[in-house]
Amino acid sequence: MRRNRVLKYLLEKEFKQMLRNPIMLPLIIALPLIQLILLPYAATYEIRNIQIVVVDHDQSSVSRALQQKIASSGYFEIAYHTDTYQEALTHIEEGTASMILEIPENFEREMNAGEEVQLFVAADAVDGTKASIGTNYLNGIIQDFSIREREELAMKSPVAVVQRELPAQIEAIPVFRFNPGLDYKTYMVPGILALLLTLVGGILAALNISGERELGTLEQINVSPVRKVDYLLGKLIPFWIMGLVIICFGLGIAWLLYGIVPKGSFWTLIVFATIYNMGFIGFGLFISSVSKSQQQAMFIAFFFLLIFFLMGGLFTPVSSMPRWAQYITYLNPTAYLIDAMRLIILKGSGFADLWDQFWATLSFAVFFNGLALLTFRKTAK
């Protein structure tokens, strides 16, 4: 009974400190709101408004039709027309354009004759991702334009000419399951929910004990009969509740803004969020207990969080990483939660499909809370 009263008083102290903190309550609301509004739009591989320079040596109706198709795609903006490739290259070097399309002479004549036509495309590859994706976009538009032009030509040509010049077309009709529109925001939102839990545990909890050490509050705890288990529980439970509030609020924002509703069990999602949240709070308390100042705790927390985010599959799939990096992700708890959140929310997976992620997340929670308990000393160092 006495232990329960002590824990109750510790929890009251923590909640009062949270309520008195002018930043904490706005943070609970602003953190998921800002992250879910900005990141899905900012962190996307869908590239638009690529500045392109066109060098048109043909100046024909067909070359102008191709330029019109490129400009109307929404991915490109024809910023300049030049007479030579060297002039176009100047815009690339100055940074006022990202790509060059050079259309050769006799483009229309060769198209009408059914001959193979080669266009020249150059891209500024300082940003390799933008260059690669932009080139793929442009090639797709050109191929589609070529097919449609040949089809229109075939309708005006004799049957013999059509058979000679136009081979049979094979069309593959793709079906995209679980994300039919290939919307990158749909892919990002579950990962951002995992990011929110990571920030709550990894940063706020990491600053807690070190902050009390700087204020001298920890010295009062040292001379009190409070057990370190109760003290750490008093720290863990409020942040655990705060994490659950943020994840529920985040799910509501995802539904209101993007229409994303978990296809799997809501309670399965909450179980994973609960275990991971407790694990990362333990991680934050461990950092806080071994740090002598908030500045030191913040530096250590950011060092590890940066690794967890970049190697957790938030922005790029783990399968696309080098083999050595994939092995490291086996020790990354964030990778397991991001994977589980996407499978639950987008695919509707249940516990039977998520045993690997469940045991990995649970092991992480037990390990770091045990480590926090072992490293925290209720005596002055």
Residue 204, classified by CB atoms within 10 Å of its CB into exposed (0-12), middle (13-18) or buried (19+), is buried
pLDDT at 189 over 80: yes
What angle, 0 to 180 degrees and rounded to 10, lies between the N-to-C axes of helices 184-199 and 24-42? Answer: 150
Amino acid at 152: E
Retrieve residue 253's tokens. Answer: 């924002």
User: What CATH number does the domain located at 50-165 have?
Assistant: 3.40.1710.10
Beta strand 50-56 pairing with 76-82:
parallel
Q: Of 155-159, 223-227, 236-240, 289-293, which one has max mean pLDDT? A: 236-240
Domain spans in the chain, listed from the N-terminal domain onward:
2-43+180-375, 50-165
Dist. CA 89–CA 95, nearest whole Å:
10
pLDDT at 9 over 90: no
Confidence of residue 72 (pLDDT cuts 50, 70, 90): very high
The residue assigned the tokens 């994840």 is: 247
Over its C-alpha atoms, the chain yields an Rg (Å, rounded) of 29
Residues 205, 239: contact at Cβ < 8 Å? yes
Dist. CA 314–CA 191, nearest whole Å:
6
The residue assigned the tokens 């995992």 is: 194
Residues 232, 376: contact at Cβ < 8 Å? yes
CA 98 to chain centre: 25
Dist. CA 7–CA 229, nearest whole Å:
9
Q: Of 149-163, 166-180, 204-218, 271-285, which one has max mean pLDDT? A: 271-285
Which has the minimum average pLDDT: 131-140, 157-166, 294-303?
A: 157-166
| Mean pLDDT, rounded, of the chain | 84
Q: Select from 128, 120, 62, 127 the least CA-distant residue to 86.
A: 120
Residues 197, 243: contact at Cβ < 8 Å? yes
